[in-house]
């Protein structure tokens, strides 16, 4: 067994400056969201220097910034703000931007986002649950709506990935979506969000993940394992990680931190030390793909070297 020590691309994290007042889900009046627990610890600025402090013990050479719930009526504002940040240390080298794909303005917004060289993907969160406290999306079934699908269809012409965030109850629908858009690259966020931790809930997640993985145009981010496993241990994380890798293979799986959100329940060192321990029985090539190569390929970080 070999513990990985090579370069890392963190394929999913967020930044925000709360002084801008553009993150309504982090306002003091906002309710709990997505089953994450008390959001109060997140109500502070999180900028590149904060990320670099958290990641200091790990060889992170580049990161992918994923839209962070910026006000939806100004999704280009987040991209413009990211462009003002210092990229010297590789933080936010690429962006997954926000576009509300059901909007009549979606074609123009996708084109505008794609005009930024660092934008390599789009996210429009679909996670919905009957429990209002768990919901991210406004309604159920969005991915089946013709208007939303019409918006999604514009990504391919700009070579943009779609970051897919759903709950396990939606994985079968996600598999149908991927089948209906076979030329579109999808990346499932956060292992498919295994939120129900009882035996039946985990069985539903395992079965749904395996069904989705049959679609070759879908990859998975092994990220924020602690979001729905607040009392986690290495023993509870390992089967989740290994099921993702078993379903998708290392060439369609990538590790990511989801910082600072994951900091609600774990430190950055906890996250990446766990990844390194869990992956240590795998081959060097497999580890290289999980920590670096898959994210490099899918998020177009071609200038980076695995020897870096």
Domain ranges of the chain: 8-298
- Per-residue pLDDT tens listing for the chain (308 residues): 899 999 999 999 999 999 999 999 998 777 667 667 788 899 999 999 999 999 999 999 999 999 999 998 999 999 999 999 998 899 999 999 999 999 999 999 999 999 999 999 999 999 999 998 888 998 999 999 999 999 999 999 999 999 999 999 999 999 999 999 999 999 999 999 999 999 999 999 999 999 999 999 999 999 999 988 899 999 999 999 999 999 999 999 999 999 999 999 999 999 999 999 999 999 999 999 999 999 999 999 987 655 44
Of 194, 113, 129, 205, the closest CA to residue 161 belongs to 113
Strands (E), 115-209: 119-123, 161-164, 186-188
Quick one: residue 249, left, alpha or beta (phi over 0 = left, psi -120 to 50 = alpha)? left
Total-model pTM: 0.95
CA angle 143, 98, 192 (to 5 degrees): 50
Q: What is the pLDDT of residue 165?
A: 98
CATH architecture of 8-298: Alpha-Beta Barrel (3.20)
Q: What is the pLDDT of residue 308?
A: 44
Is residue 66 within 8 A of residue 96, CB to CB? The reply is: yes
Is residue 302 within 8 A of residue 282, CB to CB? The reply is: no
| Phi, psi of 149, deg, nearest 5 | -65, -35
Q: What is the pLDDT of residue 87?
A: 85
Q: What is the pLDDT of residue 28?
A: 79
Q: Note the Cα 86 to chain centre separation in Å.
A: 22
CA angle 287, 274, 253 (to 5 degrees): 40
């Amino acid at each position: 067994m070999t513990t990985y020590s090579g370069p890392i691309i963190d394929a999913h994290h967020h930044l925000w400056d709360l002084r801008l007042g553009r993150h309504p889900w982090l306002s003091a009046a906002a309710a709990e969201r997505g089953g994450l627990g008390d959001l109060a610890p997140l109500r502070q600025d999180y900028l590149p220097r904060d990320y670099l402090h958290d990641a200091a013990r790990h060889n992170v050479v580049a990161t992918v910034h994923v839209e962070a719930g910026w006000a939806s009526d100004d999704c280009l504002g987040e991209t413009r703000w990211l462009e003002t940040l210092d990229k010297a240390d590789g933080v936010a080298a690429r962006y997954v931007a926000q576009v509300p794909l059901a909007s009549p303005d979606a074609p123009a917004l996708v084109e505008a986002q794609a005009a930024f060289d660092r934008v390599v993907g789009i996210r429009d969160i679909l996670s919905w649950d009957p429990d209002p406290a768990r919901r991210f999306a406004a309604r159920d079934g969005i991915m089946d709506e013709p208007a939303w699908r019409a918006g999604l269809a514009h990504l391919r012409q700009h070579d943009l990935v779609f970051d897919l965030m759903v709950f396990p109850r939606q994985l079968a629908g996600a598999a149908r979506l991927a089948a209906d858009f076979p030329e579109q690259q999808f990346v499932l966020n956060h292992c498919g969000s295994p939120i129900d931790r009882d035996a039946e809930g985990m069985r539903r997640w395992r079965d749904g993940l395996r069904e989705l993985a049959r679609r070759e145009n879908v990859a998975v981010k092994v990220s924020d394992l602690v979001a729905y496993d607040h009392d986690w241990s290495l023993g509870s994380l390992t089967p989740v990680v290994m099921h993702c890798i078993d379903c998708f293979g290392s060439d369609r799986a990538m590790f990511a931190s989801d910082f600072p959100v994951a900091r609600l329940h774990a430190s950055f060192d906890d996250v990446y030390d766990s990844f390194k321990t869990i992956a240590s029985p795998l081959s060097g090539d497999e580890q290289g793909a999980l920590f670096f190569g898959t994210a490099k390929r899918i998020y177009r970080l071609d200038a980076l070297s695995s020897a870096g």
